[in-house]
Amino acid sequence: MTNMNAPLANRGNDVNTIEERVNTLLTQMTLAEKIGQMSQLNAGDGYAPDYLADGLRAGRIGAVLNIVDVAAVNELQRIAMEESRLGIPLLVGRDVIHGFKAVAPIPLGQAATWNPNLVREAAHVAAIEAAASGINWTFAPMIDISRDPRWGRIAESLGEDVFLASRLAVAMVEGFQGEDLSATGSIAACAKHFAGYGAAESGRDYATTDIPESELRNVYLRPFNAAVDAGVATLMTSFSDLNGVPATGNEFLLRQVLREEWCFDGFVVSDWDSIRQLQIHGLTENDRESAYEAATAGVDMEMAGDAYSGHLAELVEAGRISIGSIDTAVANILRAKFRLGLFENAFTKPEELPAVANGWALETAKQAATQSVVMLRNEHNVLPLAAAELNSIAVIGPLADAPYQQLGTWVFDGDVELSVTPLQALRSLVGDAADVRYVRAMENSRSRASEAFDEAVAAARDSDVTILFLGEESILSGEAHSRADINLPGDQAELVRRIRETGKPVVAVIQAGRPLTLTNIVDQVDALLFAWHPGAMGGPAIADLLFGIESPSGKLPVSFPRMVGQIPIYYNQKNTGKPPSWDNIAHIDDIDTRAPQTSLGMSAFHLDAGFTPLFAFGHGLSYTQFEYRHIRMSANELKPGDEVTVSVDVCNTGGVAAEEVVQLYVRDPVASVTRPVKELKGFQRVHVEPGETVTVDFRLHTDDLSFYGRDGQLVTEPGEFHVWAGGSSETQLRTEFRLESR
């Protein structure tokens, strides 16, 4: 066949030239070829060139997914480039969520680092490793604001906060795409799921979401806006229904917000077969109408379904969808392919890229794991352990030596052989200095068989310290793995109780894909580290932290409830007309049996749980102590357009050098739309030596105070503002300033 696009092959990649190339190519395409560009097919069922070749030659396929055999990818590209009429290369997609071979912590764990530079580096490692297998498009980052830990996909998220999620979303996009999307090793990112997916009712995956427009704009859309501003190449629609209109057919989201307001010029892909699922939602009566609704709403490409390939042509011929709408969608897709440089360089040469799982990749994974671990509790300074003072260590639990489980969810390509477990790392670290006594105790995290508990108790009783490795297996979180009960599964709490009875120091290390309700065990352990699913290098990272080679520096990116009934509980809730305080609440156990019916303080709290989480957003302990002093502002009165510096002194009053994540919060106490009690507006990770005091400066612009008002427009209103700086959202160190009107 004649490759009619060959004359375009050696032209430049500047904006004007790309638009010329897109338009020139569009004029050469038939309707069938255009619809082909709008179709992505699964290539993970056998040797794809055998069963996709005819479709490629006919121009019926624009993208594939789930193929990681570089030879097969190159053959698919060869057929598309050399044997199709127009020679249009393929997009090759894959879920590269938190690493490829050298797996980093789950995204929620990476969010706990509060380190955009490290998150960017981890995404860069993942991009380079994936690119070596022919992948040029990842379905990440997932930037749904997530405030319900029952939802399995909170593991893939960046937590509950708009500011933190937005900063880290940008870092991930930059890591995947690099400075030049066409450069070797760069891959297209895909911000998902647009939008509101993280607010699914009851934390049930795929469930309905009902979000007022004010909340949608002020919370759930903002990370996506940040990703678009950062140049993200693609977006993916959500599976979920949003206010009665499923996201895959939601014209408000895809046309008004994304295209008209944000001027996004990349392309939108559906989630897996979500176009045909519009019928199941009850929005349409058949696949033809589903194709119509999705295309009309602004979905450019269908993933893994055939509604577009089966019905778009007839919809155009019937005049229900204009050829101009088809051209716009195809132009968005072609633009991404030109920006990726695929027309010039569609074939993968692994030798041009670094070897996968090299030293840099594994060190990045280890650094991310180290900074992601959050120390929640450390009574009597049980940690760090001193190897010279220990003769024996009991290592107990189902996740002490579970190399696959520590990788976490969405690790299709992770190499379990690279996974170094805590048991392996501890044995390597202590060597012959101490006897490490390992008892698995439970077959898996869900086990209710306690036959091995006696052996575990004996090991603990005969050791100087016990380290319990508990949590949930990776399969218990992720897509379609929501849980109504988020206590430690199985009989783990009973194991903790039995070990506690030995009277020896107990350290618990939790690996999980979500916050867990730990109320039933938190007082049974002396120290508690939350390690998420820490990835391939989780073992060495945890061992270094346990023995003080590194000091814990992770901070929670999401609040930990005391019990499920508190959900949703997040730090930046509204004040309400009856805000709770310690002075106006009562506990269920304190109520007299025949007490008269009263309002018990008349405030917003639970009788059996109070009003605070077990562990607050931003919380995380260290092996030293940080004291915050002297918060001040460079000006206490601002005018619109001004920028002010907020400064705070951070003193390391302990004896260990460590890193602290300094956090800046703001409140707008009076506004035309009620605002949260606190909002994160800045954070910095700083290293402080013992006895040293460092001054941390934050730049705060009046634009940072903006919010979407009653009319749906972005506004910054004058008035008094409160400002806090400290080590968590519970900080009390406060100052104030006033924003004047124009």
Nearest to residue 522, comparing CAs of 490, 485, 496, 552?
Answer: 496
DSSP H helices, 58-154, are 70-78, 107-111, 116-131
Contact 126, 167 (CB under 8 A): no
Pick the CATH number of 626-739 from 3.20.20.140, 3.30.420.310, 2.60.40.10, 3.90.226.10: 2.60.40.10
Could you tell me the pLDDT band of residue 591, with boundaries at 50, 70 and 90? confident
Query: Which residues have C-beta within 8 Å of that of residue 342, sequence separation ≥ 6?
Result: 89, 90, 91, 136
| pLDDT 10s digits, 125-170 | 999 999 999 999 999 999 999 999 999 999 999 999 999 999 999 9
| pLDDT 10s digits, 623-637 | 999 999 999 999 999
Query: Which residues have C-beta within 8 Å of that of residue 583, sequence separation ≥ 6?
Result: 601
Give pLDDT, residue 3. Answer: 43
Is 526 a residue whose pLDDT tops 80? yes
Could you tell me the pLDDT band of residue 13, with boundaries at 50, 70 and 90? low
Residues 613-630, mean pLDDT to the nearest whole number:
98
Tokens 């009107």 correspond to what residue? 741
Contact 544, 363 (CB under 8 A): no
CA 613 to each of CA 109, 230, 403, 564, 729: distance values in angstroms, whole numbers, following the listed order: 19, 34, 31, 11, 11
- Specify the pTM: 0.97
Tokens 């007299």 correspond to what residue? 592
| pLDDT 10s digits, 272-306 | 999 999 999 999 999 999 999 999 999 999 999 99
Give pLDDT, residue 12. Answer: 46
Q: How far apart are CA 126 and CA 364, in angstroms?
A: 10
Give pLDDT, residue 599. Answer: 66
Give pLDDT, residue 590. Answer: 82
| pLDDT 10s digits, 464-476 | 999 999 999 999 9
- What is the chain's mean pLDDT, rounded? 96
Residues 389-409, mean pLDDT to the nearest whole number:
98
Q: Which residues of 209-222 are buried (b: 16+ CB within 10 A; e: fewer)?
A: bebeebbbbbbbbb
Q: Which residues of 554-581 are buried (b: 16+ CB within 10 A; e: fewer)?
A: bbbbbbbbbbbebbebbbbbeeeeeebe
Our answer to whether residue 271 is catalytic in this structure is: yes
Residue ranges of the chain that CATH labels 3.40.50.1700: 360-546
Give pLDDT, residue 4. Answer: 37
Is 6 a residue whose pLDDT tops 60? no
DSSP H helices, 40-192, are 48-57, 70-78, 107-111, 116-131, 162-177
Residue 724 in 3-state DSSP?
strand
Q: Is 197 exposed, middle or buried (0-12, 13-18, 19+ CB in 10 A)?
A: buried
Q: How far apart are CA 610 and CA 589, in angstroms?
A: 12
Class of domain 360-546: alpha beta
Tokens at 213, concatenated: 């427009």
CA 404 to each of CA 152, 458, 534, 726: distance values in angstroms, whole numbers, following the listed order: 18, 28, 11, 37
Tokens at 67, concatenated: 């193929």
Cis before residue 193, ω within 30 degrees of 0? yes
Could you tell me the pLDDT band of residue 601, with boundaries at 50, 70 and 90? low
| pLDDT 10s digits, 158-215 | 999 999 999 999 999 999 999 999 999 999 999 999 999 999 999 999 999 999 999 9
Give pLDDT, residue 8. Answer: 34
Residues 643-655, mean pLDDT to the nearest whole number:
98
Is 9 a residue whose pLDDT tops 80? no
Residues 304-311, mean pLDDT to the nearest whole number:
98
Is 7 a residue whose pLDDT tops 60? no
Task: Out of 40-44, 175-179, 283-287, 580-584, pick the least confident.
Answer: 580-584
Is 2 a residue whose pLDDT tops 50? no
Residue ranges of the chain that CATH labels 2.60.40.10: 626-739
Tokens 């520590």 correspond to what residue? 406
Is 447 a residue whose pLDDT tops 50? yes
Which is the catalytic residue, given 271, 300, 401, 413?
Answer: 271
Residues 592-605, mean pLDDT to the nearest whole number:
78
Q: Which sign does the torsion angle of CA 529, 530, 533, 535 carry? A: negative
Give pLDDT, residue 10. Answer: 34
